[in-house]
């Protein structure tokens, strides 16, 4: 995957923490970790390797291309592309690579059936829409689906998938229960004919908060990377043992004095209220550091939180290091995570809240715009 290489900042990925999170989410044989979008910015292949070492037997990816990358790297697990097969070529390749294709509409049944036969059967993943309104069969479709499957002896429904919309929201329990009920009804009808078909409903929030929705296979993404989808809700404690896997560091490029009354950076949105000492860090909005957090970005240097000052630039940003002693060029500041110190590490949630977004978006963008290094424990 292309990652911006021209920056001294680094995205650190702690694979030991990733494996611990995976273990916290249940037995490996009953999980299908979601590694779409380059494993939420953590890197498809290193993450897949770590999860395979931890016993993963299935992977959910986004595209057939991601499945191809896994097969090329030698992975033999079941692989389901959650976006489905988007072109005729995707269908051919899904078959050739022995992916488990997503079958989400009558046309998909026909396309899959054309590539399979009773003596060369193909395991497929049936997708049901229990309330996301995105992809999949709805309850009214099920009789025709069963009919079509009966007429396609080459197709073996191995897995049934559906997706929660509000499993992370205690106030919306009724909707989640309705999704659970509809999914159960639809899959019961199919399992009457195909009793070996496994079921998978829970995303991270479902896995953590809805034990009655675990079925045979849970499908967490975010929680594998340490995100607690229940943070800030009455259920937050259900995900509080998870550890963030990604950290972001940037080196000090230079330190210098700023005199009282001097301004710094674009727009002059910061003026020194006193004589101070400033560090220039090699990281900016080109590396997914949100410019809108200028003058307010939390960060740590020497284990201490220090104020970020002035407008965040494309590849640089400044910090007020007046309270620290002996900061040297080359020292690493931690914009996310980092080694334990007197002050708490910054989390992706700390960035997401003022941006009115979710940490999922932060992980994807930081992982795509910073060179990644894989640490076992140090990050
Ligand atoms: C992304 C995705 C998941 C994982 O969701 P998380 O909230 O990251 O756990 C599961 N299922 C489907 C269909 C998805 O698209």
Q: Are 315 and 282 in contact (CB under 8 A)?
A: yes
- Do 200 and 324 have their domain in common? no
Instruction: Give the pLDDT confidence of 333-370 residue by residue, as tens digits.
Output: 999 999 999 999 999 999 999 999 999 999 999 999 99
Please, what sign has the CA dihedral across residues 60, 66, 68, 74?
negative
pLDDT at 379: 41
- Specify the ligand 1 atom closest to the Cα of 206: 9
Does some domain include residue 362?
A: no
Q: Which of 22, 24, 34 to mutate to test the pocket of ligand 1 (most atoms within 8 A of CB)?
A: 34
Does some domain include residue 287?
A: yes
Mean pLDDT across 183-202: 98
Residue 155 structural domain: 15-232
Does some domain include residue 32?
A: yes
Binning pLDDT at 50, 70 and 90, where does residue 182 land?
very high
SS3 category, 107: helix
Does some domain include residue 108?
A: yes
Q: For ligand 1, atom 4, name the residue with the nearest CA.
A: 221
Does some domain include residue 3?
A: no
Distance 219 CA to ligand 1 centre (A): 7
Distance 228 CA to ligand 1 centre (A): 13
Q: Where are the alpha helices (DSSP H) in the chain?
A: 15-24, 36-40, 44-53, 64-72, 88-96, 106-114, 142-150, 173-191, 204-209, 348-355, 359-369
- Do 208 and 258 have their domain in common? no
pLDDT at 5: 86
Instruction: Reply yes or no on whether 260 is catalytic.
Output: no
Does some domain include residue 195?
A: yes
Residue at which a domain ends, from 182, 197, 232: 232
- Do 224 and 258 have their domain in common? no
Instruction: Name every residue whose Cβ is closer than 8 Å to that of residue 319 and which is 6 or more positions away in sequence.
Output: 278, 279, 281, 299, 301, 306, 307, 308, 309, 333
Among the listed residues 222, 266, 285, 360, the single catalytic one is: 266
Does some domain include residue 370?
A: no
Distance 204 CA to ligand 1 centre (A): 7
- Do 166 and 42 have their domain in common? yes
- Do 191 and 125 have their domain in common? yes
Burial of 48 (0-12, 13-18, 19+ CB in 10 A): buried
Among the listed residues 36, 40, 127, 285, the single catalytic one is: 36
Q: Which of 26, 81, 82 to mutate to test the pocket of ligand 1 (most atoms within 8 A of CB)?
A: 82
Within 6 A (CB) of ligand 1 lie 34, 36, 82, 163, 203-204, 219-223, 229
CATH number at residue 33: 3.20.20.10
CATH number at residue 275: 2.40.37.10
Distance 126 CA to ligand 1 centre (A): 16
pLDDT at 1: 66
- Specify the ligand 1 atom closest to the Cα of 227: 8
Reading the block at residue 319, the tokens are: 């910090």
- Do 199 and 144 have their domain in common? yes
Number of structural domains in the chain? 2
Q: For ligand 1, atom 6, name the residue with the nearest CA.
A: 221
Distance 306 CA to ligand 1 centre (A): 35
Q: Which of 40, 133, 163 to mutate to test the pocket of ligand 1 (most atoms within 8 A of CB)?
A: 163
- Do 224 and 310 have their domain in common? no
- Do 193 and 254 have their domain in common? no
- Do 151 and 209 have their domain in common? yes
Distance 196 CA to ligand 1 centre (A): 23
Instruction: Reply yes or no on whether 36 is catalytic.
Output: yes
Instruction: Give the pLDDT confidence of 239-276 residue by residue, as tens digits.
Output: 999 999 999 999 999 999 999 999 999 999 999 999 99
pLDDT at 377: 56
Residue 376 pLDDT greater than 70, yes or no: no
Distance 216 CA to ligand 1 centre (A): 16
- Do 208 and 268 have their domain in common? no
- Do 95 and 199 have their domain in common? yes
Residue at which a domain ends, from 187, 208, 232: 232
pTM for this entry = 0.96
Mean pLDDT of the chain: 97
Instruction: Please state, in angstroms and rounded to a whole number, the distance separating the CA atoms of residues 122 and 192.
Output: 19
What is the percentage of the chain residues whose pLDDT exceeds 70? 99
- Do 298 and 324 have their domain in common? yes
Q: Are 295 and 267 in contact (CB under 8 A)?
A: no
Q: Could you give the count of Cα atoms lying within 13 Å of 200 in the half-sphere of its Cβ?
A: 27
Q: Which of 60, 102, 164 to mutate to test the pocket of ligand 1 (most atoms within 8 A of CB)?
A: 60
58-to-98, 178, 191, 211 alpha-carbon distances in Å: 13, 27, 21, 20
Does some domain include residue 353?
A: no
């Amino acid at each position: 995957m292309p990652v911006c290489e021209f920056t001294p900042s680094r995205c650190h990925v702690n694979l030991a923490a990733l494996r611990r999170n995976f273990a916290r989410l249940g037995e490996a044989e009953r999980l299908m970790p979601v590694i779409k979008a380059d494993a939420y910015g953590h890197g498809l292949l290193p993450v897949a390797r770590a999860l395979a070492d931890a016993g993963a037997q299935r992977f959910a990816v986004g595209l057939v291309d991601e499945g191809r990358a896994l097969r090329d790297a030698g992975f033999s697990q079941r692989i389901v592309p959650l976006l489905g097969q988007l072109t005729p070529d995707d269908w051919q390749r899904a078959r050739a690579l022995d992916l488990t294709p997503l079958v989400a509409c009558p046309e998909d049944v026909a396309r899959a059936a054309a590539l399979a036969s009773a003596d060369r059967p193909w395991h497929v993943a049936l997708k049901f829409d229990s309330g996301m309104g995105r992809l999949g069969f709805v309850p009214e479709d099920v009789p025709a689906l069963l009919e079509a499957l009966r007429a396609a002896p080459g197709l073996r429904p191995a897995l049934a998938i559906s997706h929660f919309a509000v499993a992370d929201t205690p106030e919306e329990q009724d909707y989640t229960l309705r999704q659970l009920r509809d999914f159960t009804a639809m899959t019961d009808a199919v399992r009457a004919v195909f009793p070996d078909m496994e079921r998978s409903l829970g995303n991270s929030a479902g896995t953590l908060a809805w034990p009655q929705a675990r079925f045979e296979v849970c499908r967490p993404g975010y929680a594998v990377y340490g995100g607690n989808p229940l943070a800030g809700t009455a259920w937050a404690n259900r995900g509080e043992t998870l550890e963030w896997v990604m950290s972001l560091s940037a080196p000090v490029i230079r330190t210098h004095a700023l005199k009282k009354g001097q301004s710094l950076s674009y727009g002059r949105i910061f003026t020194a209220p006193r004589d101070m000492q400033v560090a220039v860090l090699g990281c900016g909005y080109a590396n997914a550091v949100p410019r809108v957090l200028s003058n307010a970005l939390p960060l740590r240097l020497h284990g201490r939180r220090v104020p970020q000052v002035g407008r965040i630039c494309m590849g640089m940003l400044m910090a007020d290091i007046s309270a620290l002693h002996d900061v040297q060029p080359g020292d690493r500041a931690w914009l996310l995570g980092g080694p334990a110190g007197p002050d708490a590490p910054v989390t992706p949630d700390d960035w997401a809240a003022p941006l009115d977004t979710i940490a999922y978006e932060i992980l994807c963008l930081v992982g795509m715009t910073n060179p990644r290094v894989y640490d076992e424990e140090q990050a």
